């Protein structure tokens, strides 16, 4: 996916997001520039910094979804934060460096998941052997002898070993024959419904509560150190063999992974491919009044500036450089303007793109076209109860019209209005199935209007319900 052309990136985004071609084109170019930079000489790569983006548009038009889908396309670490959650250094609250720490945590989780997937086959085989030892254990003497013999001969676990006592030898051969049979059954999944008692490691974590949050990196480091010093305890759990396979495969895969390598690769991916989405940046724009709840807005901008410009943030996994992390800021900018940000921060967001408000036709397309459209979701959900929901063209038109009307007469929350309206339209159907409703149900204009028209007409009522 990393080698997608900008046109291909836009085509992928079109599968999930309706319209907003200017914003899609903009992020597609930024993504391709990352790929282009990585093909250059290493000495020159450092000279090319990412061109950060400000997305300007009302809520619910696709700003966050564009950034999130972009990150998924290339398996890039992605973190979404709201600028209003942060405070200037010296105030109680989150500091901006926690953005980078969170990005690194996500990046390391991504790398770890990939490494575990690579070793899944090997780990699954080891997990099957552990289950086999629980349901058909070898005699203790034979097990130690077998381990000793394998160490020097490299022979298979199920191979027969000499035993001076014929009776014991026969018993061992019977057990081994049974293990061969059981291993085959395990591999086929024939024993998945059986119950098994296994020992599971319990991770010990020490919570420092709010104090840990306020102490920042020192609090995180202390929490990690105290957690690693605590002895690991095990507890017994009764689970199905299918569940035991999953748990033990995870444990075995974790043993096969080099944590230092995972941390190093995670930090590198965060530095070279990380995407930070700064939402509601317009809320920290504007002139400081020196009093009231917004006294630290300018301070937050000044604190954000170093990580956007390029600095080194210390995390518990090591130092992380932010020079090549892509920052996408977004806001409605109804009151403030991008020019109200401090000049230094404006300079670090050279690309600005405006997203359009959603029209009635856009809302209609959102209901139908995306792969994960709401209509497809509800049709799939109700099919579980044996209800075949059919949305007619007129019914979809009615939903889009009412959503557009409510957005224009109350707060404009964009496509999010469709969630509320569809939930109201299908409320009775979702409640009554499968007890009172089954078979085919047509959602046409009459059905939609019966559920919504009275609410939509009453502006005061629609403010509360829709």
Under the banding of pLDDT at 50, 70 and 90, the label for residue 232 is low
Q: Give yes or no for a contact between 396 and 375, defined as CB atoms under 8 angstroms apart.
A: yes
Q: Where are the domains of the chain?
A: 6-116+263-354, 122-256, 360-455
Reported pTM: 0.76
pLDDT score recorded for residue 10 = 92
Q: What is the pLDDT of residue 107?
A: 94
Measured distance CA(341)–CA(336) in Å, rounded = 9
SS3 at position 239: strand
CA dihedral 339, 342, 346, 347 (to 10 degrees): 130
Would you say domain 6-116+263-354 falls under CATH 3.40.50.300?
A: yes
At 106, the pLDDT band (50, 70, 90 cuts) reads very high
Over residues 360-385, mean pLDDT? 90
Q: Which of 97-106, 240-249, 268-277 has the lowest mean pLDDT?
A: 240-249
pLDDT at 151: 46
List the one residue out of 17, 1, 7, 13 whose CA is nearest residue 365.
Answer: 17
Residue 38: the pLDDT is 86
In the block, tokens 């404009």 appear at 412
- pLDDT given for residue 296 in this prediction: 63
Q: Give me the pLDDT at residue 266, please.
A: 93
The answer to whether residue 346 scores a pLDDT higher than 60 is yes
What pLDDT score was predicted for residue 173? Answer: 77
Question: Which residue's entry shows tokens 């070898």?
Answer: 138
* Mean pLDDT, residues 273-295 taken together: 72
The set of long-range contacts for 142-147, using a CB threshold of 8 Å and a minimum separation of 24, is 142/172, 142/175
The pLDDT value recorded for residue 265 is 93
Q: What is the pLDDT of residues 74-98, one digit of tens each?
A: 889 999 988 888 766 555 567 788 8
Confidence of residue 120 (pLDDT cuts 50, 70, 90): confident
Lowest mean pLDDT among 140-154, 294-308, 329-343, 376-390: 140-154
What percent of the chain stands above pLDDT 70? Answer: 80
240 pLDDT higher than 60: yes
Q: Report pLDDT digits (tens) over 289-327.
A: 444 444 466 778 888 888 888 888 998 898 999 999 999
In the numeric block, which tokens belong to residue 357?
């408000």
Measured CA distances, 229 to 127, 199, 224, 251, 460 (Å)? 27, 21, 9, 20, 59
What is the Cα–Cα distance from 66 to 55, expressed in whole angstroms? 10
pLDDT per position as a tens digit, 214-225 = 455 555 556 655
What pLDDT shows up at residue 161?
A: 46
Q: Pick 239 or 313 by higher pLDDT.
A: 313
| Residue-level pLDDT at 90 | 52
- Average pLDDT score, the chain: 80
Least confident of 55-69, 223-237, 362-376, 399-413: 223-237
Asked whether 233 and 202 are in contact (CB, 8 A), the reply is: yes
pLDDT 10s digits, 166-181? 677 777 777 777 777 7
pLDDT of residue 408: 85
Q: Output the DSSP codes for 98-117.
A: HHHHHHHHHHHHHHHHHHHH
* Confidence at residue 286, expressed as pLDDT on a 0 to 100 scale: 67
Q: How sure is the predictor about 437, in pLDDT bands with cuts at 50, 70 and 90?
A: confident
pLDDT value of position 222: 62
Fold for domain 360-455?
A: Helicase, Ruva Protein; domain 3 (1.10.8)
pLDDT digits (tens, 9 = 90+) for 14-45: 889 888 899 999 999 998 988 888 888 888 88
Q: Which range (191-195, 269-273, 410-414) has the least confidence?
A: 191-195
Rounded Cα–Cα distance for residues 420 and 147 (Å): 63
Confidence at residue 213, expressed as pLDDT on a 0 to 100 scale: 47
Higher pLDDT, 312 or 235: 312
What size, in residues, is the chain? 466
pLDDT in tens, 136-177: 777 664 545 554 444 444 445 444 444 456 677 777 777 777
| Lowest-confidence segment of 15-24, 46-55, 220-229, 256-265 by average pLDDT | 220-229
Mean pLDDT within 404-416: 85
Cα separation, 252 vs 123, whole angstroms: 5
């Amino acid at each position: 996916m990393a080698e997608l052309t900008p046109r291909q990136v836009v085509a992928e985004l079109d599968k999930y997001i309706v319209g907003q071609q200017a914003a899609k084109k903009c992020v597609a170019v930024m993504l391709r520039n990352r790929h282009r930079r990585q093909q250059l000489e290493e000495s020159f790569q450092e000279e090319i910094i990412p061109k950060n983006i400000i997305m300007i548009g009302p809520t619910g038009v696709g700003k966050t979804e564009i950034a999130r889908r972009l990150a998924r396309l290339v398996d890039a670490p992605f973190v979404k934060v709201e600028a209003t959650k942060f405070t200037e250094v010296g105030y109680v609250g989150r500091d901006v460096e926690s953005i980078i720490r969170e990005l690194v945590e996500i990046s390391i989780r991504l790398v770890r998941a990939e490494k575990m997937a690579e070793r899944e086959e090997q780990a699954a085989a080891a997990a099957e052997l552990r289950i086999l030892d629980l349901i058909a254990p070898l005699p203790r003497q034979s097990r130690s002898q077998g381990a000793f013999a394998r160490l020097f001969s490299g022979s298979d676990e199920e191979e027969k070993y000499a035993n001076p006592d014929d009776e014991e030898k026969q018993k061992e051969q019977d057990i081994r024959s049974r293990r061969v049979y059981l291993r085959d059954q395990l591999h086929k999944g024939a024993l998945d419904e059986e119950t098994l008692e296994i020992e599971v490691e319990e991770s010990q974590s020490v919570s420092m509560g709010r104090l840990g949050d306020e102490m920042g990196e020192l609090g995180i480091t202390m929490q990690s150190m105290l957690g690693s010093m605590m002895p690991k305890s095990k507890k017994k759990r009764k689970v199905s063999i299918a569940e035991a396979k999953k748990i033990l495969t995870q444990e075995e895969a974790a043993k096969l992974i080099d944590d230092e390598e995972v941390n190093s690769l995670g930090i590198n991916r965060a530095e070279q491919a990380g995407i930070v989405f700064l939402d509601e940046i317009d809320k920290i724009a504007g002139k400081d009044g020196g009093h009231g709840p917004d006294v630290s807005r300018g301070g937050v901008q000044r604190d954000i500036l170093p990580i956007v410009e390029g600095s080194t943030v210390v995390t518990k996994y090591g130092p992380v450089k932010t020079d090549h992390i892509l920052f996408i800021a977004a806001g409605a900018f109804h009151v403030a303007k991008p020019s109200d940000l401090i000049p230094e921060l404006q300079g670090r967001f050279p690309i600005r793109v405006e997203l359009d408000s959603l029209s009635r036709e856009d809302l209609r397309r959102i209901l139908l076209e995306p792969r994960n459209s709401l209509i497809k979701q509800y049709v799939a959900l109700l099919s579980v109860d044996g209800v075949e929901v059919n949305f007619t063209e007129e019914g979809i038109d009615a939903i889009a019209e009412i959503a557009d009307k409510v957005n224009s007469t109350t707060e404009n929350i964009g496509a999010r209005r469709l969630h509320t309206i569809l939930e109201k339209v299908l409320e009775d159907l979702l409640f009554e199935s499968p007890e009172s409703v089954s078979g085919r149900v047509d959602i046409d204009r009459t059905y939609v209007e019966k559920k919504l028209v009275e609410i939509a007409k009453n502006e005061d009522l629609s403010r509360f319900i829709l």
